[in-house]
Every structure is written in structure tokens, then in C-alpha cells.
Amino acid sequence: MNIFHFTAEKRNGDMVSLEHYKGKVLLIVNTASKCAFTPQFEDLQKLYLTYKDAGLEILGFPCNQFGGQEPGTSEDASAFCQLNYGVTFPMFSKVDVNGEQALPLFQFLKEAAPFRGFDESNINEKLLKAMISDKNPEFLLGDSIKWNFTKFLIDQEGNVVQRFEPSDEPASFVKEIERLLR
């Protein structure tokens, strides 16, 4: 099984088969507009502009499960991204990434790329773990998405290659993207 077996809702309500992205390298990201990691939109957009012609597609999925940091509508989230960060990559409808209402795509992604654990030597991950312990301790368990801006790298055949946590800056995995684009 791969991600091409799934569909997702565009912000306008249309359903799209992820098979539409067959042959592309994908970066699938759960996003939020009021998060400490929100400035990653700038680097994600730079990645997109740099590599889109080579076959990279970034898919953003707004999510309000982490500290209520995406309180508006799907349209509000898209407008925020475009106005504040110039985002031109596809933004989808708001989704849940954990729990009973989680989008099946994210259930699959979590199973295909389990959580690697927190790197306690990284101050950002240590702080993230403390924040999750305080606000959403249930997300510390298992392979759940821990916070906004968890990123999944997918190859051209729809296979999940790697999971990057919120503290992983987009620039830190450019080499992995370039390797898949060859």
C-alpha cells in the first residue's frame, strides 16, 4: 500500500486522489498559522520554488489539534499562508491527524513512518516534549503526530521515505529531497 490509495479534500471542498501526484516527490505537512513553528512556511515555500520544476510537491494540511493554533476555516488558513508567507503550494482542508477523526492518510503516514523519539540533547525537542506533556500528554504516546509541522517525505511511487518532526527545519533535509529527485 502507498499514499496513492488515499484522497484528500481541497480547501474548496473538492476531493482529490493523491494518485494525481504520482511521479512527484511529496512533502506532506500538518500546519497551523498561530504556532511557534509557523515561520517554517517561509522555508517550505523556498523549497517548493527551488524544486517544484524538478518534481517536488508540498501538500499542506491545516490542523487545529495542537493548542488550538489553527482556529479559522480552511480558507482562513490558506489566506494566512499566502498573505504572510507567499505560499503557492497546495493547501488542503483542515484535518485531524490524531484520534478517531484522523484523516486516513495521516493514519497511514504514522504507521509507515513511526515516531523516532525525542532527541533530549536538542533544546527545541526538549521544549517541545515539555509543552506536549503540559498541553496534550496523550500525544506523547506511540507514533501519534506530536505537534504542528510534522513532515513526511514521499517518493515518486507513493512510498513513505522519512518522517521529520516539528523541530526539523526544512533546510535540514534538502539532501534527502535532492536524492529522491534524481
CB 46 within 8 A of CB 14: no
CB 17 within 8 A of CB 7: yes
pTM beyond 0.85: yes
pLDDT score at 68 = 92
30 forms beta bridges with 61
pLDDT score at 124 = 85
Which are the contacts of 136, defined by CB distance < 8 A and separation ≥ 6? 65, 66, 67
Per-residue model confidence as pLDDT tens digits over 18-65:
999 999 999 999 999 999 899 999 999 999 999 999 999 999 999 999
SS3 label, residue 171: helix
CB 88 within 8 A of CB 48: yes
pLDDT score at 122 = 87
Cell, residue 110: 504514522
Longest CA–CA separation in the chain, Å: 43
Q: Is 81 a catalytic residue?
A: no
- Label the pairing between strands 151-154 and 160-164: antiparallel
pLDDT score at 135 = 84
pLDDT score at 169 = 93
Query: What CATH architecture does domain 3-177 belong to?
Result: 3-Layer(aba) Sandwich (3.40)
pLDDT score at 136 = 85
Of residues 36, 35, 31, 39, the one with CA closest to residue 11 = 31
Domain segments of the chain as ranges: 3-177
Q: Please state, in angstroms and rounded to a whole number, the distance separating the CA atoms of residues 121 and 68.
A: 28
Which regions of the chain are under pLDDT 50?
none
Dihedral of alpha carbons 15, 18, 23, 24, sign: positive
pLDDT score at 27 = 98
Cell, residue 105: 492518510
From 3, 26, 35, 145, the catalytic residue: 35
pLDDT score at 120 = 86
Amino acid at 114: P
